[in-house]
Amino acid sequence: MSEHENAEHGHPTTGTYLVIAAILTVITLVEVGVFYVPSMKPVLAPTLIVLSAAKFALVVMFYMHLKQDHRIFSAIFVVPLVIAMGVAVALLALFGVFGGA
Amino acid sequence: MSDAAAHHTSTGLDNRKLAFWAFIGSECLLFGSLISTYLVYEGRSVSGPTTGEILDIPLTTISTFDLLMSSLAMVLALAAVARGDKVWARVWLATTAGLGLIFLGFQVYEFSEFVHHGLKLQTNLFGSTFFTLTGFHGGHVLVGVIWLLTLLLRSFQGKLGPDKALQVELAGLYWHFVDVVWIVIFTVVYLIQ
Protein backbone atom coordinates (compact mmCIF):
# COMPACT_ATOMS: atom_id res chain seq x y z
CA MET A 1 0.00 0.00 0.00
CA SER A 2 1.43 3.36 -0.98
CA GLU A 3 1.53 6.39 1.26
CA HIS A 4 -1.27 7.95 -0.79
CA GLU A 5 -3.39 4.83 -0.40
CA ASN A 6 -2.65 4.81 3.30
CA ALA A 7 -4.07 8.33 3.53
CA GLU A 8 -7.12 7.25 1.57
CA HIS A 9 -7.76 4.52 4.14
CA GLY A 10 -8.01 7.15 6.85
CA HIS A 11 -4.53 7.38 8.35
CA PRO A 12 -2.43 10.52 7.90
CA THR A 13 0.59 10.56 5.60
CA THR A 14 4.25 10.50 6.68
CA GLY A 15 4.41 14.25 6.01
CA THR A 16 1.57 14.88 8.44
CA TYR A 17 3.28 12.73 11.08
CA LEU A 18 6.49 14.74 10.68
CA VAL A 19 4.64 18.05 10.94
CA ILE A 20 2.91 16.88 14.13
CA ALA A 21 6.29 15.81 15.58
CA ALA A 22 7.71 19.24 14.78
CA ILE A 23 4.75 20.98 16.42
CA LEU A 24 5.08 18.76 19.51
CA THR A 25 8.77 19.64 19.73
CA VAL A 26 8.11 23.37 19.42
CA ILE A 27 5.36 23.28 22.07
CA THR A 28 7.68 21.39 24.44
CA LEU A 29 10.40 24.00 23.93
CA VAL A 30 7.86 26.79 24.56
CA GLU A 31 6.72 25.02 27.75
CA VAL A 32 10.27 24.81 29.09
CA GLY A 33 11.02 28.37 27.95
CA VAL A 34 7.94 29.72 29.73
CA PHE A 35 9.01 27.83 32.87
CA TYR A 36 12.25 29.86 33.04
CA VAL A 37 10.66 33.31 32.45
CA PRO A 38 10.09 34.98 35.87
CA SER A 39 7.42 37.36 34.54
CA MET A 40 5.31 34.37 33.46
CA LYS A 41 5.00 33.03 37.03
CA PRO A 42 1.48 34.45 37.66
CA VAL A 43 0.08 32.74 34.55
CA LEU A 44 2.49 29.80 34.44
CA ALA A 45 0.03 27.07 35.46
CA PRO A 46 -2.80 27.96 33.03
CA THR A 47 -0.32 28.53 30.19
CA LEU A 48 1.35 25.16 30.73
CA ILE A 49 -2.00 23.37 31.06
CA VAL A 50 -3.18 24.81 27.71
CA LEU A 51 0.09 23.87 25.98
CA SER A 52 0.02 20.39 27.52
CA ALA A 53 -3.61 19.91 26.44
CA ALA A 54 -2.65 20.90 22.89
CA LYS A 55 0.12 18.28 22.81
CA PHE A 56 -2.22 15.68 24.30
CA ALA A 57 -4.87 16.42 21.67
CA LEU A 58 -2.39 16.30 18.78
CA VAL A 59 -1.05 12.87 19.78
CA VAL A 60 -4.52 11.45 20.39
CA MET A 61 -6.03 12.84 17.18
CA PHE A 62 -3.20 12.17 14.73
CA TYR A 63 -0.94 9.45 16.18
CA MET A 64 -3.76 7.46 17.80
CA HIS A 65 -5.93 8.21 14.74
CA LEU A 66 -9.02 9.27 16.70
CA LYS A 67 -9.56 12.11 14.22
CA GLN A 68 -10.11 9.58 11.42
CA ASP A 69 -11.38 6.53 13.29
CA HIS A 70 -14.95 5.67 14.20
CA ARG A 71 -16.55 7.91 16.82
CA ILE A 72 -17.19 4.95 19.13
CA PHE A 73 -13.45 4.78 19.80
CA SER A 74 -13.43 8.47 20.71
CA ALA A 75 -16.37 7.96 23.07
CA ILE A 76 -14.75 4.96 24.76
CA PHE A 77 -11.65 7.06 25.39
CA VAL A 78 -13.15 10.46 26.18
CA VAL A 79 -15.81 9.34 28.69
CA PRO A 80 -13.31 7.73 31.14
CA LEU A 81 -10.93 10.64 30.53
CA VAL A 82 -13.62 13.14 31.56
CA ILE A 83 -14.46 10.99 34.61
CA ALA A 84 -10.78 10.87 35.57
CA MET A 85 -10.51 14.67 35.23
CA GLY A 86 -13.68 15.10 37.29
CA VAL A 87 -12.28 12.83 40.01
CA ALA A 88 -9.05 14.83 39.99
CA VAL A 89 -10.83 18.19 40.30
CA ALA A 90 -13.12 16.81 43.05
CA LEU A 91 -10.15 15.43 45.02
CA LEU A 92 -8.22 18.68 44.70
CA ALA A 93 -11.26 20.65 45.86
CA LEU A 94 -11.84 18.23 48.74
CA PHE A 95 -8.28 18.63 49.98
CA GLY A 96 -8.36 22.44 49.66
CA VAL A 97 -5.81 22.70 46.86
CA PHE A 98 -7.88 25.49 45.25
CA GLY A 99 -7.65 27.56 48.45
CA GLY A 100 -10.81 26.31 50.13
CA ALA A 101 -11.18 24.14 53.26
CA MET B 1 -7.58 -15.81 6.60
CA SER B 2 -6.50 -12.32 7.62
CA ASP B 3 -6.82 -10.94 11.14
CA ALA B 4 -9.55 -8.54 10.07
CA ALA B 5 -11.66 -11.23 8.44
CA ALA B 6 -11.21 -13.58 11.39
CA HIS B 7 -12.58 -10.98 13.83
CA HIS B 8 -15.41 -9.43 11.85
CA THR B 9 -18.21 -8.01 14.00
CA SER B 10 -21.77 -6.77 13.47
CA THR B 11 -20.64 -3.18 14.12
CA GLY B 12 -17.99 -3.42 11.43
CA LEU B 13 -15.41 -2.51 14.05
CA ASP B 14 -12.76 -4.93 15.22
CA ASN B 15 -13.67 -6.17 18.70
CA ARG B 16 -10.00 -6.29 19.73
CA LYS B 17 -9.60 -2.61 18.93
CA LEU B 18 -12.79 -1.78 20.83
CA ALA B 19 -11.56 -3.79 23.82
CA PHE B 20 -8.18 -2.11 23.67
CA TRP B 21 -9.71 1.37 23.68
CA ALA B 22 -11.77 0.30 26.72
CA PHE B 23 -8.52 -0.80 28.38
CA ILE B 24 -6.97 2.59 27.59
CA GLY B 25 -10.05 4.23 29.10
CA SER B 26 -9.46 2.28 32.31
CA GLU B 27 -5.83 3.35 32.25
CA CYS B 28 -7.03 6.97 32.18
CA LEU B 29 -8.74 6.32 35.51
CA LEU B 30 -5.61 4.65 36.95
CA PHE B 31 -3.27 7.49 36.01
CA GLY B 32 -5.93 10.09 36.86
CA SER B 33 -5.94 8.69 40.41
CA LEU B 34 -2.15 8.62 40.65
CA ILE B 35 -1.76 12.17 39.32
CA SER B 36 -4.55 13.42 41.63
CA THR B 37 -2.84 11.81 44.62
CA TYR B 38 0.44 13.46 43.70
CA LEU B 39 -1.24 16.87 43.41
CA VAL B 40 -3.19 16.50 46.66
CA TYR B 41 0.00 15.82 48.62
CA GLU B 42 2.28 18.21 46.74
CA GLY B 43 3.83 20.77 49.07
CA ARG B 44 2.69 18.93 52.20
CA SER B 45 5.98 17.18 52.96
CA VAL B 46 7.24 18.08 56.44
CA SER B 47 10.85 17.35 55.48
CA GLY B 48 12.99 17.62 52.33
CA PRO B 49 14.04 17.12 49.69
CA THR B 50 11.11 18.59 47.77
CA THR B 51 10.26 19.32 44.14
CA GLY B 52 12.09 22.62 43.62
CA GLU B 53 15.24 21.30 45.26
CA ILE B 54 15.65 18.08 43.35
CA LEU B 55 13.89 17.98 39.94
CA ASP B 56 16.20 18.32 36.93
CA ILE B 57 14.20 20.12 34.23
CA PRO B 58 16.83 20.11 31.41
CA LEU B 59 17.39 16.36 31.81
CA THR B 60 13.66 15.62 31.86
CA THR B 61 13.11 17.86 28.82
CA ILE B 62 15.51 15.64 26.87
CA SER B 63 13.75 12.45 28.02
CA THR B 64 10.38 14.02 27.12
CA PHE B 65 11.66 14.83 23.62
CA ASP B 66 12.94 11.25 23.39
CA LEU B 67 9.50 9.84 24.19
CA LEU B 68 7.76 12.22 21.75
CA MET B 69 10.09 11.09 18.97
CA SER B 70 9.39 7.46 19.86
CA SER B 71 5.72 8.13 19.08
CA LEU B 72 6.74 9.42 15.65
CA ALA B 73 8.80 6.25 15.08
CA MET B 74 5.80 4.17 16.17
CA VAL B 75 3.40 5.66 13.61
CA LEU B 76 6.05 5.25 10.91
CA ALA B 77 6.42 1.59 11.93
CA LEU B 78 2.67 1.07 11.59
CA ALA B 79 2.64 2.75 8.18
CA ALA B 80 5.55 0.54 7.03
CA VAL B 81 3.84 -2.67 8.24
CA ALA B 82 0.57 -1.64 6.57
CA ARG B 83 2.28 -1.18 3.18
CA GLY B 84 4.27 -4.41 3.57
CA ASP B 85 7.67 -2.74 3.84
CA LYS B 86 9.50 -5.24 6.05
CA VAL B 87 12.83 -3.40 6.22
CA TRP B 88 11.44 -0.05 7.34
CA ALA B 89 8.95 -1.77 9.66
CA ARG B 90 11.90 -3.36 11.46
CA VAL B 91 13.88 -0.12 11.46
CA TRP B 92 11.04 1.90 13.02
CA LEU B 93 10.01 -0.82 15.49
CA ALA B 94 13.63 -1.09 16.66
CA THR B 95 13.89 2.72 16.82
CA THR B 96 10.74 2.97 18.93
CA ALA B 97 11.92 0.25 21.34
CA GLY B 98 15.38 1.85 21.48
CA LEU B 99 13.96 5.29 22.31
CA GLY B 100 11.80 3.63 24.97
CA LEU B 101 14.90 2.03 26.49
CA ILE B 102 16.70 5.39 26.44
CA PHE B 103 13.73 6.94 28.29
CA LEU B 104 13.94 4.16 30.88
CA GLY B 105 17.69 4.84 31.18
CA PHE B 106 16.93 8.50 31.95
CA GLN B 107 14.40 7.40 34.57
CA VAL B 108 16.82 4.97 36.23
CA TYR B 109 19.45 7.72 36.32
CA GLU B 110 16.95 10.20 37.78
CA PHE B 111 15.77 7.76 40.44
CA SER B 112 19.32 6.88 41.43
CA GLU B 113 20.22 10.59 41.67
CA PHE B 114 17.20 11.20 43.91
CA VAL B 115 18.15 8.31 46.18
CA HIS B 116 21.71 9.68 46.27
CA HIS B 117 20.27 13.03 47.44
CA GLY B 118 18.28 11.32 50.18
CA LEU B 119 14.87 11.03 48.50
CA LYS B 120 13.40 7.54 48.74
CA LEU B 121 9.88 6.13 48.56
CA GLN B 122 9.51 6.39 52.34
CA THR B 123 11.32 9.73 52.87
CA ASN B 124 8.31 12.05 52.63
CA LEU B 125 4.98 12.56 50.86
CA PHE B 126 6.72 13.90 47.76
CA GLY B 127 8.95 10.82 47.54
CA SER B 128 6.02 8.42 48.02
CA THR B 129 3.75 10.03 45.43
CA PHE B 130 6.51 10.89 42.94
CA PHE B 131 8.07 7.42 42.85
CA THR B 132 4.64 5.75 42.72
CA LEU B 133 3.43 7.91 39.81
CA THR B 134 6.59 7.92 37.71
CA GLY B 135 7.36 4.30 38.65
CA PHE B 136 3.97 3.15 37.36
CA HIS B 137 4.58 5.10 34.17
CA GLY B 138 8.07 3.61 33.80
CA GLY B 139 6.58 0.14 34.29
CA HIS B 140 4.18 0.85 31.43
CA VAL B 141 7.07 1.96 29.23
CA LEU B 142 8.91 -1.27 30.03
CA VAL B 143 5.87 -3.34 29.06
CA GLY B 144 5.65 -1.34 25.82
CA VAL B 145 9.31 -1.97 25.01
CA ILE B 146 8.87 -5.72 25.57
CA TRP B 147 5.76 -5.66 23.34
CA LEU B 148 7.66 -3.81 20.59
CA LEU B 149 10.60 -6.21 20.77
CA THR B 150 8.13 -9.10 20.47
CA LEU B 151 6.69 -7.52 17.31
CA LEU B 152 10.22 -7.03 16.00
CA LEU B 153 10.97 -10.70 16.60
CA ARG B 154 7.76 -11.70 14.78
CA SER B 155 8.82 -9.49 11.88
CA PHE B 156 12.16 -11.31 11.64
CA GLN B 157 10.23 -14.60 11.71
CA GLY B 158 8.20 -13.36 8.72
CA LYS B 159 4.97 -13.25 10.74
CA LEU B 160 4.27 -9.51 10.58
CA GLY B 161 2.79 -8.83 7.18
CA PRO B 162 0.20 -6.20 6.20
CA ASP B 163 -2.57 -8.57 7.36
CA LYS B 164 -1.15 -8.24 10.90
CA ALA B 165 -1.14 -4.43 10.88
CA LEU B 166 -3.80 -4.35 13.59
CA GLN B 167 -1.38 -6.00 16.01
CA VAL B 168 1.05 -3.15 15.42
CA GLU B 169 -1.77 -0.61 15.64
CA LEU B 170 -2.78 -1.92 19.10
CA ALA B 171 0.83 -1.77 20.29
CA GLY B 172 0.97 1.75 18.86
CA LEU B 173 -2.18 2.80 20.73
CA TYR B 174 -0.59 1.57 23.96
CA TRP B 175 2.68 3.34 23.20
CA HIS B 176 1.00 6.65 22.33
CA PHE B 177 -1.10 6.45 25.48
CA VAL B 178 2.09 6.06 27.53
CA ASP B 179 3.37 9.13 25.67
CA VAL B 180 0.30 11.28 26.44
CA VAL B 181 0.44 10.26 30.10
CA TRP B 182 4.03 11.51 30.18
CA ILE B 183 2.95 14.77 28.52
CA VAL B 184 0.65 15.33 31.51
CA ILE B 185 3.23 14.18 34.09
CA PHE B 186 5.93 16.42 32.61
CA THR B 187 3.66 19.45 32.92
CA VAL B 188 2.01 18.70 36.25
CA VAL B 189 4.98 17.27 38.16
CA TYR B 190 8.02 18.94 36.62
CA LEU B 191 6.93 22.33 35.28
CA ILE B 192 4.07 23.34 37.58
CA GLN B 193 5.81 23.10 40.94
Q: What is the pLDDT of residues A27-69, one digit of tens each?
A: 999 999 999 999 999 999 999 999 999 999 999 999 999 999 9
Q: In percent, how much of chain B has pLDDT > 70?
A: 96
- pLDDT of B108 reads 98
Rounded to whole angstroms, the Cα distance separating A73 from B173 reads 11
Rg, C-alpha atoms of chain B: 19
C-beta separation of A20 from B74 below 8 A: no
Is the model more confident about B3 or about B38? B38
Alpha helices in chain A (DSSP H): 3-8, 14-35, 44-58, 71-94
Distance (Å) from the alpha carbon of B82 to chain A's nearest alpha carbon: 7
> Which of B71, B78, B185 should be substituted to probe chain A, the one whose Cβ sees the most A Cβ atoms within 10 Å?
B71
Distance (Å) from the alpha carbon of A16 to chain B's nearest alpha carbon: 10
| pTM as predicted | 0.92
- Measured between beta carbons, which residues in chain B are less than 8 angstroms from residue A92? 36, 39-40
- Measured between beta carbons, which residues in chain A are less than 8 angstroms from residue B65? 25, 28
Distance (Å) from the alpha carbon of B183 to chain A's nearest alpha carbon: 6
CA distances from B111 to A78, B107, B119 (A): 32, 6, 9
Contact B79 A6 (CB under 8 A): yes
Is 60 exceeded by the pLDDT of residue A7?
no
- pLDDT of B8 reads 67
Tell whether ipTM is more than 0.85. Answer: yes
Q: Which residue of B has its CA nearest to A22?
A: B69
Question: Among candidates A27, A29, A14, A31, which has minimal Cα distance to A58?
Answer: A27
Rounded to whole angstroms, the Cα distance separating B95 from B173 reads 17
